[in-house]
Structure formats: C-alpha cells, structure tokens
Amino acid sequence: MATSPVNHTDLINDSDGITDDMLGTEREFQAIDTSTAGEGKSLWHRGIIKAVAVKNRSAGALTAGEIVTWNTDVTGLTGGPGHAVEGECGAGAIAAGVVPWNAPSGGYAVGDNFWLIRKGPAYVLSDGGDDVAAGEEFTTGATGYVSDGAAGTNRIYGIMIEAIGAVAGAAKKALVNFESVG
C-alpha cells in the first residue's frame, strides 16, 4: 500500500468519491490535523493513518471519534465482511476501527461510505467513567468510547497520546491499532 499525501480532512464520506465497488479498499494517509486548534500540525510526528473504505450499516449516524464494530451482513455489498460497519463497539466486542475526527457534523448517515481509521493517530472519545493517562493502554466501554484498558478482560485497542479524563465525550489523541484484533 503506497502512502498518499492526503490531509486528514480528506477522510470524509462520499465527497472523496468512495463508491460501493471501492468498499474494503485500504489506503494510507498522512496524519495531518487541519482543525483550528492544530492547523497544519501533525497529529504524530511523521504519522501515517491506515484506513479502509466502509459503508455505514448501523441503525443511525456514526459520529467522529466513535469506535465501531464490523457488520457481518453482506447482503447487497459487492464484497464480503470488512466492507461495512455498524454501531458502537461495546465492552468486550471486537472493534473494527474509529470514525475519523473530521466526519460531517451530523456524522455519517446510514448508507454513507467513508474511510474508517484502522491504525495510526486518531481522536477518540472518553466514556466518562475512567481517567486514562497519556501512555496508558485503552479499550472500549459500553458506548464505543474509550475506557481504561488495565482491567485485562477487554481487548486493548491502543495507547493514549493525551490523557483522557472522566468527562463523557471528551476528545483526545490516541495511537490506535485495530488491525491486530478485527
């Protein structure tokens, strides 16, 4: 897979031209944060985001920073499993990846195609129940948000770059790796 010099902002749904026949395609992106707070700054020095083109097959919109699961229903898809995602990844479930931070403000609607982050720097959301320090491992809570990975009963999905507090929905930087588990 060749690295494409593409901004993190380009991890946006159909405006990228992701058609159904592209679902399951993997792509690498440079990890550039073009938000107001980090304009032009790298999320991680020379960081690369590995992503896969997927379709939202959940019951509702998938919002930025949510950790989601694979959808195993391949009805109507040209490919097999690994081409669609559904709702939030609950505690103990196998995660597919994280919804890119620059998703549309209302999230990706049901049926939208988008780039799902599988590995690299990403923003994730706090479940509000745990403090996870920078450098600590994390897993998912019941809502597809980050929870403390120290319990040892859930899969570890990455390491926090920034500490995440017990404020539900707080977005912080993490280094994620869903490739080894899902």
Per-residue pLDDT tens over the stretch 50-81:
999 999 999 999 999 999 998 877 676 666 66
47 or 89: whose pLDDT is higher? 89
**Which segments of 1-89 does DSSP mark as H helices, in order?**
none
Contact status, residue 74 vs residue 96, Cβ threshold 8 Å: no
- How high does pLDDT run on average in the chain? 77
Q: Indicate the range of 46-50, 119-123, 173-177 predicted with least confidence.
A: 46-50
> Rounded CA gap, 112 and 54, in Å?
8
Residue 174 class from Cβ within 10 Å (0-12 exposed, 13-18 middle, 19+ buried)? buried
Nearest to 139 by CA among 107, 181, 103: 181
67 or 28: whose pLDDT is higher? 67
pLDDT reported for residue 9:
44
pLDDT band at 109 (very low <50, low <70, confident <90, very high): very high
Q: Indicate the range of 28-32, 62-66, 113-117 predicted with least confidence.
A: 28-32
pTM over 0.85: no
pLDDT reported for residue 170:
81
Over range 20-46, report the average pLDDT: 67
